[in-house]
A and B are shown apart, each in its own frame.
Chain A
Amino acid sequence: MKNVLAITLVLLVSAGAQASGIYECDAVDRSEWLTEERLTQQLIESGWQEVRRMKPDGGCWEVYGTTPDGQRVEGYFDPVTGEQLLLAQRGRILFRKED
């Protein structure tokens, strides 16, 4: 029984680690970051239907919004260039930039 529990826990933790979707960006001084307004504008211009909110996460801008295809996503963006790094729809990875 203990083994079953231990295996379950390990599975859950590893599944969760994969799902965390956290993308690490290089540390850049906040003064060099795109402002929220600037990144929002950039995304809307590229066709995003909605930019709901954003917050810094792992040194990137983490954006919650709706893509041009109407998918509700969480996206990670380079805070300086605004380049799209990762796009996840409710835990499903739609895009990940390979380094």
Chain B
Amino acid sequence: MIRKIVDPPRFIWIILALPGFRMTNSLLSGAIGPEGQPTEEYLLHTSGESAAQIMILAMMITPFRMMFPKNKFWAWMLKRRRYIGMAAFVYAVFHTVLYIVDMGTVRAMLNEFTALGIWTGWLAFFIFIPLAITSNDFSVRALGTSWKTVHRFVYVAAIATLVHWIFVHNNIGPALARFVPLALLEGYRIWRTMNPKSMAGA
């Protein structure tokens, strides 16, 4: 019964589009941010936050699967990981477009390109592009074993995103609140891979 609702792809698409609906609503109503940010600056922040959070979610699926191999939710999520990753990319595109609009000129963007908070954001975005392009069955088949190597660059993108978030905001709290859980899960995953026997009883 529930599966009939949650299993079709459109269910996860709607869930992943929810932040987008909220942003569209903010854009149309000219919403002001909690600190009095004008709409475009507010959306710049929320789109980046959504992109990062959804990327983290996609990256959490495998470690959670290792932790709870029989859990149906994470098995369900694994089947939808491609959509989750693509949603992160779409929000990252929106975020980048808003940044370009906000800055207005190439000159202004180049002026701050070398600031740690900025080039790390561009790096993450440019890593996302080939990952998004190869997120389809054709690419998985065509690339074979190198598909995994290509997609492992998401770890570089994640670290770049973390640094981008901290430095562009001059604030470590909100970024760490999202990335520490991921770091712990990845730590668990590495530990599990290095000590396969120790978990035999779990």
Whether chains A and B associate is yes
Chain A residues engaging chain B, CB cutoff 8 angstroms: 1-2, 4-5, 8-9, 12-13, 15-17, 19-22, 52-53, 55, 69-72, 74, 88-92
From B36, B118, B166, B180, A19 is in contact (CB under 8 Å) with B166
Query: Could you tell me if B172 and A70 are in contact, using CB atoms closer than 8 angstroms?
Result: no
Report how many residues on chain B are interfacial, defined by Cβ distance under 8 Å: 32
Query: Could you tell me if B166 and A1 are in contact, using CB atoms closer than 8 angstroms?
Result: no
Query: Could you tell me if A90 and B116 are in contact, using CB atoms closer than 8 angstroms?
Result: yes
Q: Is B101 at the interface (CB under 8 A from chain A)?
A: no
Query: Could you tell me if B115 and A55 are in contact, using CB atoms closer than 8 angstroms?
Result: no
Query: Could you tell me if A70 and B170 are in contact, using CB atoms closer than 8 angstroms?
Result: no
Q: Is the interface of B mostly helix, strand, loop or mixed?
A: helix
- Inter-chain CA distance A22–B172, complex, in Å, is 12
- Inter-chain CA distance A10–B194, complex, in Å, is 23
From B163, B175, B183, A8 is in contact (CB under 8 Å) with B183
Query: Could you tell me if B107 and A16 are in contact, using CB atoms closer than 8 angstroms?
Result: no
Chain B residues engaging chain A, CB cutoff 8 angstroms: 35-38, 41, 103, 107-108, 111-112, 114-118, 162-163, 166-168, 170-172, 175-176, 180, 183-184, 187, 190-191, 194
- Inter-chain CA distance A5–B189, complex, in Å, is 12
Tell me which residues across on chain B come within 8 A of A20, comparing CB atoms: 170-172
- Inter-chain CA distance A72–B35, complex, in Å, is 18
Query: Assuming A5-B184, A91-B166, what are 19 further A-B pairs, CB within 8 angstroms?
Result: A1-B187, A1-B194, A2-B187, A9-B180, A16-B166, A16-B175, A21-B170, A52-B38, A53-B37, A55-B35, A55-B36, A71-B111, A72-B112, A88-B170, A90-B118, A90-B168, A91-B170, A92-B112, A92-B167
User: Measured between C-beta atoms, what is the minimum distance from A8 to chain B in Å?
Assistant: 7
Tell me which residues across on chain A come within 8 A of B118, comparing CB atoms: 90
Tell me which residues across on chain A come within 8 A of B180, comparing CB atoms: 9
**Provided the pairs A12-B172, A20-B170 are in contact, do residues A90 and B184 lie with their beta carbons within 8 angstroms?**
no
- Inter-chain CA distance A69–B194, complex, in Å, is 53
Q: Which residue of A lies closest to B102 (CB)?
A: A72
**Provided the pairs A9-B180, A53-B37, A90-B117 are in contact, do residues A19 and B112 lie with their beta carbons within 8 angstroms?**
no
- Inter-chain CA distance A90–B184, complex, in Å, is 28
